[in-house]
Chains A and B, each alone.
Chain A
Amino acid sequence: SQQGEEDPQALSIQEGENATMNCSYKTSINNLQWYRQNSGRGLVHLILIRSNEREKHSGRLRVTLDTSKKSSSLLITASRAADTASYFCATRRNAGGTSYGKLTFGQGTILTVHP
């Protein structure tokens, strides 16, 4: 079963606006990652935040992590039409040396940015 749950399932905004997507998870994690997927294609890694980090920035992306609430958010500022894609959070469990980096993905948020 999917561990992560993204919210909202779909988000439609105008170019230039900010987009915020949320993710919740259930188990103790080592890290949380966000990926983007353009329609029918492979996934592209966006940003990784470790369990001992609370906030991270990369260009127009800002990720927060609240391990007490088992939740994360991805903020895309000044969105562009090219940001239109599905966004997935993925968690790596904190299971010592046996989890091998397996990622558990949420169901994703479909973001549409209108020009």
Chain B
Amino acid sequence: DTGVSQDPRHKITKRGQNVTFRCDPISEHNRLYWYRQTLGQGPEFLTYFQNEAQLEKSRLLSDRFSAERPKGSFSTLEIQRTEQGDSAMYLCASSPIGGMSSYNEQFFGPGTRLTVL
């Protein structure tokens, strides 16, 4: 399957610990997005990469959050000193550039569900 994959699928951690999530986009997709989704809500944009460049960050992304995409392929999202309010589903999506790129759909991974105790 060549869809978007995320690892781990579930993470339980204690408050104050650091966690790191990984996203592998569809191989030919240049654009990669991270979203956060809390229970009963729609996904909220966190950050966007075009190849290895992080081009946009939401104000939701506090200093405790950092994302990288070092070689323009997979991406990692790290949360330092986790808080209970960080508990959510973290979704990764990718899309291609080219052609009528304004109109491209985003392909989502299955998400990583984080629980902070």
Contact = CB atoms under 8 A, between A and B. Distances in A.
- Are chains A and B native binding partners rather than an unrelated pairing? yes
Interface of A: 2, 4, 30-31, 33, 35, 40-45, 48, 50, 88, 90, 92, 100-108
Interface stretch (B13-21, B48-56, B68-76): B48-56
Contacts, number: 70
Given A31-B103, A45-B105, A92-B102, A102 B42 contact: no
11 contacts: A40-B89, A42-B4, A45-B108, A88-B42, A100-B50, A101-B48, A101-B95, A102-B48, A105-B43, A105-B44, A108-B41
B104 interface: yes
Contacts of A100: 31, 48, 50, 55-56
Interface residues of B, number: 30
Contact of B110 (A2, A42, A48): A42
Interface of B: 4, 31, 33, 35, 40-45, 48, 50, 55-56, 89, 91, 93, 95, 101-111, 113
Contacts of A31: 102-103
Contacts of B42: 2, 4, 88, 90, 105-108
Contacts of B110: 41-42
A97 to B, nearest CB: 9
A43 B108 contact: yes
A23 B110 CA distance: 24
A101 B104 contact: yes
B52 to A, nearest CB: 15
Contacts of A4: 42
